[in-house]
Structure 1
Amino acid sequence: MRDELGCLDHFKANGKEIGFYSLPKLAEKHENVRRLPYSLRILLENLMRFEDGSNITADDVAALADWDPKAEPSKEISFTPARVVLQDFTGVPAIVDLAAMREAMKALGGKADRINPLSPAELVIDHSVQVDSYGQADSLDLNNQIEFKRNKERYAFLRWGQGAFDNFKVVPPNTGIVHQVNLEHLSRVIFDGEIDGKPMAWPDTLVGTDSHTTMINGLGILGWGVGGIEAEAAMLGQPISMLIPQVIGFKLTGKLPEGTTATDLVLTITDMLRDKGVVGKFVEFFGEGLSHLPLADRATIGNMSPEFGSTCAIFPIDEETIRYLELSGRSKERVELVRAYAEAQDLWRNDEDVDPVYSDVLELDLGDVVPSLAGPKRPQDRVLLSEAKNTFIRQMSELTKSRDDARNGELDRFAGEGGGTAVGASEIPGAAEVEYKDQTFILKDGAVVIAAITSCTNTSNPAVMLGAGILARNAREKGLNVKPWVKTSLAPGSKVVTDYLEKSGLDDDLEALGFYTVGYGCTTCIGNSGPLPEPIEDAIKEHEMVACSVLSGNRNFEGRIHPEVKMNYLASPPLVVAYALAGRMDIDLLNEPLGEDPDGNEVYLKDVWPDAHEIQDFIRQNVSSEMFTKNYKSVFEGDDLWNSMDTPTGEMFEWDEDSTYVRNPPFFEGMGMDPEPIGDITGARVLAKLGDSVTTDHISPAGAIKPDSPAGHYLQEKGIHPADFNSYGSRRGNHEVMMRGTFANVRIKNQIAEGTEGGFTTYFPDSEVMPIYDAAMKYQEDGTPLVVIAGKEYGSGSSRDWAAKGTRLLGIKAVIAESFERIHRSNLIGMGVLPLTFKDGENAEKLGLDGTETFDITGLADGTEKEVEVKATHPEGKETSFKAKVRLDTPKEIEYYKNGGILHYVLRDMAKAA
């Protein structure tokens, strides 16, 4: 154990002395340490602990200790997280890659068991359950059975991995959402163990394969989402390379007013920070308002960090942290360790503390927060509830204008609550008479067809979950019911939620309105909303209807929730119930009635909205530490379905070439001990020319697999019936499916395939429009490299590793965009794809690029050049040359790119050390 910095010290906890690398001691040499933001102090301790004189030096420690808050990030440091958290959509391909790396290691002459997680890696299966059954008492059991039938092969593979790899554990299905399980059980806050035979303690830090890993920031734990590729490297002991970031301080004062929720708060913060621009920065919350902010609300805010674009959104450790640890059933020893370490390390928050120094500061009085929702297609598009109706009508009219113009103005909007007459409805776009479950009703534009209490953001928060239950109780007492066309679902974040809903009796009220528990997982928020009832979906398609969803989630990107639902809104769980009662978006919930009671009296939202004091009483009476202890006692054991599976064993996985779920990926084929030199990219064609805000949901395969898509054709050729396709997410372990689904989102608009929507492109020089996958394969046959041209915020959204893996397998060598979101840029480099940005003030339109050109990219040299020369040659002979910025931001990223990717770098490094 090195102590070249002279900062080793001891503190007492649980009756013993424990060593730690002391920030107060370092502050004696670097006075600035005392005013560093909380998040940077955790990074600083990490550097001190891993300082070895070579990979991490005393100069690295000094650079962070003397941090200049106003300086542009330029100094590279290495962050070594204490653990890695995975979910199954990204976890399966990560374990597939590790299994493939074992084979590649043997081929390079090394030992296969060198490929093994070196720090705890915990995977929670939560992304696979789909809402097939809903609105009935046995929906949970039915969906669970369907989930196992669909995913048995994947789950058996994960069980093999749990046996084959050390330090790898799996939380079985039907347990909870990864971020809530992480918050309630997996998190340590402070780690303790032995280093060189001596007891030591250090902060819990992590990276996760889901962008919402940042939910754990609410508990004072530094961590963020990375791609599966980076997570695999972290599991293998590779530190995360990063630039010392700027830190934005967000000061909170006051208290939330009556009638508002944590969801309203987080949508307000998202709006403010998106407007500020915090991509690539840390965000840290401080101020006296934290004393009035429960841990669950902090976690809700931390969860939304990807939505406002920051790397993390962290809160310090304080009394509220301790209270939550006690509530969630942590041991007395753990609680004492956390308090003693945080106080000794100067990581403990008090209201009288002097504020840290930040790069910039925003401030919000919690009393100014008002009820809000976000939509219809981005989480940062906040809409005040008071303005929701008019905003919706305006946005919907923009969507329906071309349709209605084409129908010569035949549209009758049927004013009011599903009113009007059905006469001629079959002739009218945007409205239809529907028969479903022995009821006949008019379905029209603006109908809410999905209302889902779902996702990690809100189902971790007792206040909004019990609030939804109280609203359901009040509505039930008034005689209100959910409209028959609304698909309702409740997906608690963990079984603890079910326990406190049952104890309070509010589960009966939610179920009476159709909100039966459908599963413990992401469900609708991840795109697993399941099918709509056939008569309703047929009416939406036939009449080109603008259907809507309302969910308590964090993502509402185009095509994500359901392919036939065009407008999607994020809202608090109580508002989800309210919109399900209304059944439509074109309603002013603050001034128009939700419905009528049995006596014909109008019932308004204010008549059923839960009182804040009543919610707190319900929390005190119904949420207990015993619930957490009971539910997490056997969290890794699983149920009979999990334990009855046949599971392969052995050090090496036996690949089945006929499998349509788990295949040996081609990433390491033909790989030698030394990488090929970096060369120019010449004669490249544009596979896709895209606009602004293209998300990883647009790029990565996600959601349903269409039978007439390249992936659908592949599965049918393998004998898989469309009813058994499952989702793209569930087939992430099969590269053949995933590369066929890359850029295949139904809402993506490729500007070089004019007049199309979805995964199409124009193949040059023939000018033939075809699916992107088919064109990419033809280009590969021709030996033609490919590029993608894009606008601002390319790759925002979830940290989908297949957005980069699929890009690589399609033969794309470079992406030229106006700007990148952090995780996707990193993932591209991790797969050996070059990220380039146009110079400030330039883009494809200003340079006159239409996508028909061939591209030559020269001058990259060995990857250290910060600019390259790009020459675009138009078919008519016109040449356009411009400079592009090389977004290999750190020396380590250059090494990854030179090796063809991060896993190739790690594999060669480990093979050479063997």
Structure 2
Amino acid sequence: MTAPASKDSFGARDTLKVGDASYEVFRLNKVQGAQRLPYSLKILLENLLRTEDGANITAEHIRALADWDATADPSIEIQFTPARVVMQDFTGVPCVVDLATMREAVTDLGGDPDKVNPLAPAELVIDHSVIIDVFGRADAFERNVEIEYERNRERYQFLRWGQNAFEEFKVVPPGTGIVHQVNIEYLARTVMARGGQAYPDTVVGTDSHTTMVNGLGVLGWGVGGIEAEAAMLGQPVSMLIPRVVGFKLTGEIPAGVTATDIVLTITEMLRKHGVVGKFVEFYGESVGSVPLANRATIGNMSPEFGSTAAIFPIDEETLRYLKLTGRSAEQLALVEAYAKEQGLWHDPSHEPVYSEYLELDLSTVVPSIAGPKRPQDRIALSDAKPAFRKSVHDYVEEQHPTPHTKVDEKVEESFPASDAPSLSFAEEDSVDIESAANGATGRPSKPVLVKSEERGEFVLDHGAVVIASITSCTNTSNPSVMLGAALLARNAVEKGLSVKPWVKTSMAPGSQVVTDYYEKAGLWPYLEKLGYHLVGYGCTTCIGNSGPLPEEISAAVQENDLTVVSVLSGNRNFEGRINPDVKMNYLASPPLVIAYALAGTMDFDFEAQPLGQDTEGNDVFLRDIWPSTQEIQQTIDSAITQEMFAKDYADVFDGGERWKSLPTPEGKTFDWDSESTYVRKPPYFEGMQAEPSPVEDIAGARVLAKLGDSVTTDHISPAGAIKADSPAGRYLAEHGVERKDFNSYGSRRGNHEVMIRGTFANIRLRNQLLDDVQGGYTRDFTQEGAPQAFIYDAAQNYAAAGIPLVVLGGKEYGSGSSRDWAAKGTSLLGVRAVIAESFERIHRSNLIGMGVIPLQFPAGESASSLGLDGTETFDIAGITTLNQGETPRTVKVTATKADGTKVEFDAVVRIDTPGEADYYRNGGILQYVLRKMTRA
């Protein structure tokens, strides 16, 4: 997209010659104060210079950014125009569904449907749909892809239609890689060359881990699908000039420490410091020695520590990686020339001005994991066993017998306590019930004998590792940890070690290049010997696509209420996310994933306990099989080539026969299938008028859910498997879908009927309107006695009675992935307002984008401190001020209890920018864009 001609108030327009090519550029040194800015703010400044139109983007905005006060709280709104949009298929399908629906709506309002077209490059990578149904065998990859196509045929046909119908929209077919790894290895430009201009590559993506591209010096972050759609349609992203945290890196990484250990340490530090809504920028003497893959790993985890972006500047390492991954010589020359010309090249001796400062001496980092339910909860590996023993008491509801109590004789015979401290209490580990309940580090034991035709007999107990998965964009982009894991597998096999029979193993690389370098290094056979066969190129376990556990293991877990564990090399381990049978989830580096598969339990001390014995009966410890840093680097140098990237990305949009043979509809508008259970026309624009109706105050609202702290978008948005007895399961059954074909919520995101039935339906959600109940339930006050009901069913009853709804929340409401359905589902259930103690950035913005007003309790107050239990009716007055073109700072909330007593407070309105106010007045961002199109 060539931006409209800039007004160029600062005379910054100039020409940059690189080799034989010339580009129009906007020079930052023409704006006084630009050179003192952090790297990330320089990119924003160039963006404003190039898109200055005198209306949305003015000279005053440019001056405000150049005069940035590092110490000030954000208060100045700017309009940021990203260079491109990147999507994954779970969030991308609804984007294309909405664009297809908008084409019809524009026609209904008398506009031109061809105007609904991406104006910036939009690329979608299908990476979220593969599920690990088959594992531990040679045909796992081929079989899983086959099942993926069977399940997702309708969705894939729809995406192929979109690829043909929309300009500037490309689809990377299934089985290619993970969106963020494809982004850094192929899609990212670092510097864009488009329409005769050269300018920094910037991106928004429909996945919060879009920040992985920050490692390449590309400023970008995750947004909701609705914001991404608006960006595709030429709408700038409204934002406040942020605070920027300078994170200084010093020292050298010690031997045995992985990129994963570093990123978990940084995540813990930044979460503790508080960086929500801020940019984080890395600088200092050690930045140059941090490999690009490690930078990308750090950038990837930005959502886990809460920042908008976590960026590294451009330097020699950036160029080295761009060259390795097959970028052209012309592109390399442009990146270097442009970065140096614009002051965007990293100078380790220069310390920019930052709002806040942190420092990490890399030499102090130790091997780590994180869990059992949050990525910021880092645990030093040396403390993993006692930490698990303390945490397990949060999940084991009752005290189970210890080996001092008579249990099944066969179990005692198979694993006497003295021989297997990892599976049951050893003598010295015994604790009494009272001390265990008070958080002592003893581990309750409940050994269960499992008999399997395929796996033999074994004993399961609390803490058993039933999933050990190498998966996700975070780590599978990183050769040091991927080859480290493969070398560890080789060493384990050569020592005669094997994975425990109850562990579901899987290898899901981020791109096909990983397969290439595993093959060249001769390491695949060792991985496969341990059960780490290729299962797919996709996110898999990290997003809940772990697939079912073997039936006999799942049955043992459910029937005996065992607290079992997953270990994954991903970035997310929220409750209920990984697998419905698994309560505790830990993040670890790929080598440690294999180590835990060998151990078979979280109740394990790698320093003190052997993983097994070698052929001569000698104990083998983790330290005996851990590969050296030198060996890992030598393998990287010998096994990874530029030709691999060139070969694997040569036909990246082609997809092969399976993709190309899909029957694909044609035409400018989509021919909706009324029988489809995957893709349906959503109701957002039904009855929409050319002008918006005035906004109204909220009267007589009921509480749909009263929720605690750290409720994530995983708790709100439909995700994972669809249960047969859930409202979504009932809907599919009523439409003739067999249980085996339910697929996941993510795969059905293009069907609003499924998605609203799964909103607030997470199995770990605790609605405080009910006592000791988990899952998607509430009290239905339209019925006598306000009985327990599914949230969806209650919402339908409230809608029929004309009763608006509110949700009450605690701190960090909506943290986690940028899930547009967390906001879409909330809106479609009839929720008009969410009142919380604080919001995570993306979800707050998405709520406004769907016409739901985010309100914050007064400082220091909460639902409990105000005496609210969720049984009240709520009136919210003052919203109508928005009709006068002003955004009220607060609105008056009156909660009336059943006995007539009232609780009154002034809630802070979290509509933070004028642009967000426009969206809310229009009923949402898409309605705003549509009306703007029809007026143009």
Among 513, 516, 539, the alignment partner of 1:522 is 539
After superposition, the C-alpha distances for 1:522-581 in whole angstroms (9 at most, x for unaligned) are: 000010000000000000001110010000000000000001100000000000000000
Alpha-carbon distance in 2 for matches of 1:87, 1:744? 23
Alpha-carbon distance in 2 for matches of 1:514, 1:668? 50
1:457-476 paired onto structure 2 within 5 Å: 457-476=474-493
Q: Offset at 1:429?
A: 7.5
Alpha-carbon distance in 2 for matches of 1:60, 1:414? 72
Alpha-carbon distance in 2 for matches of 1:708, 1:407? 38
Contact 1:418/1:444 (CA < 8 Å) preserved in 2?
A: no
Contact 1:429/1:544 (CA < 8 Å) preserved in 2?
A: no
What is the TM-score normalised by the length of structure 2?
0.95
1:869-888 paired onto structure 2 within 5 Å: 869-888=892-911
Among 317, 322, 334, the alignment partner of 2:319 is 322
- Equivalent residue letter for 2:766: K
Contact 1:259/1:612 (CA < 8 Å) preserved in 2?
A: yes
After superposition, the C-alpha distances for 1:371-410 in whole angstroms (9 at most, x for unaligned) are: 0000000101111101000000111123214354999987
Q: Which residue number corresponds to residue 269 of structure 2?
A: 272
Alpha-carbon distance in 2 for matches of 1:837, 1:420? 47
After superposition, the C-alpha distances for 1:72-118 in whole angstroms (9 at most, x for unaligned) are: 10000000000000000000000000001011111101111110000
Alpha-carbon distance in 1 for matches of 2:386, 2:718? 34
Contact 1:431/1:543 (CA < 8 Å) preserved in 2?
A: no
Q: In the alignment, is residue 435 of structure 1 matched against residue 455 of structure 2? A: no
Q: In the alignment, is residue 804 of structure 1 matched against residue 823 of structure 2? A: yes
Local SS of the residue matching 1:123: strand
Q: Which residue number corresponds to residue 104 of structure 1?
A: 105
Contact 1:217/1:223 (CA < 8 Å) preserved in 2?
A: yes
1:470-619 paired onto structure 2 within 5 Å: 470-619=487-636
Please, which runs of 5 or more residues in structure 2 have no aligned partner? 426-443
Q: 1:655 to 1:407 in 2, by over 3 A?
A: farther
- Equivalent residue letter for 1:338: V
Please, which runs of 5 or more residues in structure 1 have no aligned partner? 422-427
Contact 2:424/2:461 (CA < 8 Å) preserved in 1?
A: no
- Equivalent residue letter for 2:556: A
1:856-875 paired onto structure 2 within 5 Å: 856-863=875-882, 864-875=887-898
Q: Which residue number corresponds to residue 434 of structure 2?
A: none
Q: Offset at 1:12?
A: 2.2
Q: 1:587 to 1:410 in 2, by over 3 A?
A: same
Q: In the alignment, is residue 742 of structure 1 matched against residue 765 of structure 2? A: no
Contact 2:248/2:282 (CA < 8 Å) preserved in 1?
A: yes
Contact 1:418/1:442 (CA < 8 Å) preserved in 2?
A: no
After superposition, the C-alpha distances for 1:177-234 in whole angstroms (9 at most, x for unaligned) are: 000000000011111133xxxx321000010000000000000000000000000000
Alpha-carbon distance in 1 for matches of 2:873, 2:915? 31
Q: 1:642 to 1:168 in 2, by over 3 A?
A: same
After superposition, the C-alpha distances for 1:737-757 in whole angstroms (9 at most, x for unaligned) are: 000000000000000022311
Local SS of the residue matching 1:9: strand
- Equivalent residue letter for 1:887: R
Worse overlay, 854-863 or 720-729: 854-863
Q: In the alignment, is residue 4 of structure 1 matched against residue 9 of structure 2? A: yes
After superposition, the C-alpha distances for 1:232-261 in whole angstroms (9 at most, x for unaligned) are: 000000000000000000000011100100
Worse overlay, 170-179 or 763-772: 763-772
- Equivalent residue letter for 1:795: G
Among 391, 394, 400, the alignment partner of 1:398 is 394
Alpha-carbon distance in 2 for matches of 1:407, 1:245? 57
Contact 1:418/1:441 (CA < 8 Å) preserved in 2?
A: no
Q: Offset at 1:119?
A: 0.6
Q: In the alignment, is residue 388 of structure 1 matched against residue 405 of structure 2? A: no
Local SS of the residue matching 1:201: strand
Q: Offset at 1:589?
A: 1.1
Q: In the alignment, is residue 297 of structure 1 matched against residue 313 of structure 2? A: no
Q: Offset at 1:641?
A: 1.1
Q: Which residue number corresponds to residue 425 of structure 1?
A: none
Q: Which residue number corresponds to residue 119 of structure 1?
A: 120
Sequence identity, in percent? 64
Alpha-carbon distance in 2 for matches of 1:431, 1:314? 48
Q: 1:242 to 1:420 in 2, by over 3 A?
A: closer
Contact 1:828/1:834 (CA < 8 Å) preserved in 2?
A: yes
- Equivalent residue letter for 1:676: S
Contact 1:263/1:571 (CA < 8 Å) preserved in 2?
A: yes
Alpha-carbon distance in 1 for matches of 2:19, 2:717? 48
Alpha-carbon distance in 2 for matches of 1:190, 1:57? 24
Q: In the alignment, is residue 95 of structure 1 matched against residue 96 of structure 2? A: yes
Q: 1:419 to 1:699 in 2, by over 3 A?
A: closer
- Equivalent residue letter for 1:117: P
Q: Which residue number corresponds to residue 689 of structure 1?
A: 706
Q: Offset at 1:858?
A: 0.4
Contact 1:870/1:883 (CA < 8 Å) preserved in 2?
A: yes
1:329-344 paired onto structure 2 within 5 Å: 329-344=326-341
Worse overlay, 78-87 or 759-768: 759-768
- Equivalent residue letter for 2:337: A
- Equivalent residue letter for 1:698: H
Q: 1:49 to 1:545 in 2, by over 3 A?
A: same
Among 893, 916, 922, the alignment partner of 1:893 is 916
- Equivalent residue letter for 2:9: E
What is the TM-score normalised by the length of structure 1?
0.97
After superposition, the C-alpha distances for 1:414-445 in whole angstroms (9 at most, x for unaligned) are: 64266679xxxxxx983210112151111111
Local SS of the residue matching 2:148: helix
Q: Offset at 1:466?
A: 0.1
Q: 1:822 to 1:409 in 2, by over 3 A?
A: farther
Q: In the alignment, is residue 827 of structure 1 matched against residue 843 of structure 2? A: no
Contact 2:423/2:603 (CA < 8 Å) preserved in 1?
A: no
Q: Which residue number corresponds to residue 933 of structure 2?
A: 910
Among 226, 230, 254, the alignment partner of 1:233 is 230
Local SS of the residue matching 2:203: strand
Q: In the alignment, is residue 185 of structure 1 matched against residue 181 of structure 2? A: no
Alpha-carbon distance in 2 for matches of 1:189, 1:96? 30
Alpha-carbon distance in 2 for matches of 1:419, 1:184? 43
Q: Which residue number corresponds to residue 85 of structure 1?
A: 86
RMSD of aligned alpha carbons = 1.5
Q: Offset at 1:907?
A: 0.2
After superposition, the C-alpha distances for 1:852-902 in whole angstroms (9 at most, x for unaligned) are: 000000012333101000000001111000010000000000000000000
After superposition, the C-alpha distances for 1:436-488 in whole angstroms (9 at most, x for unaligned) are: 21511111110000000000000000000000000000001100000000000
Q: In the alignment, is residue 698 of structure 1 matched against residue 715 of structure 2? A: yes
Local SS of the residue matching 2:395: helix
- Equivalent residue letter for 2:876: I
1:811-850 paired onto structure 2 within 5 Å: 811-850=830-869
Contact 1:871/1:881 (CA < 8 Å) preserved in 2?
A: yes
After superposition, the C-alpha distances for 1:802-825 in whole angstroms (9 at most, x for unaligned) are: 000000000000000001100000
Local SS of the residue matching 1:862: helix
After superposition, the C-alpha distances for 1:341-383 in whole angstroms (9 at most, x for unaligned) are: 001011001223x211000000000000000000000101111
Q: Which residue number corresponds to residue 424 of structure 1?
A: none
Contact 1:429/1:545 (CA < 8 Å) preserved in 2?
A: no
Q: 1:429 to 1:782 in 2, by over 3 A?
A: farther
Q: In the alignment, is residue 650 of structure 1 matched against residue 667 of structure 2? A: yes
Among 351, 368, 371, the alignment partner of 1:372 is 368
After superposition, the C-alpha distances for 1:663-721 in whole angstroms (9 at most, x for unaligned) are: 00001100001111111100000000000000000000000000000000000000111
Among 295, 305, 308, the alignment partner of 2:305 is 308
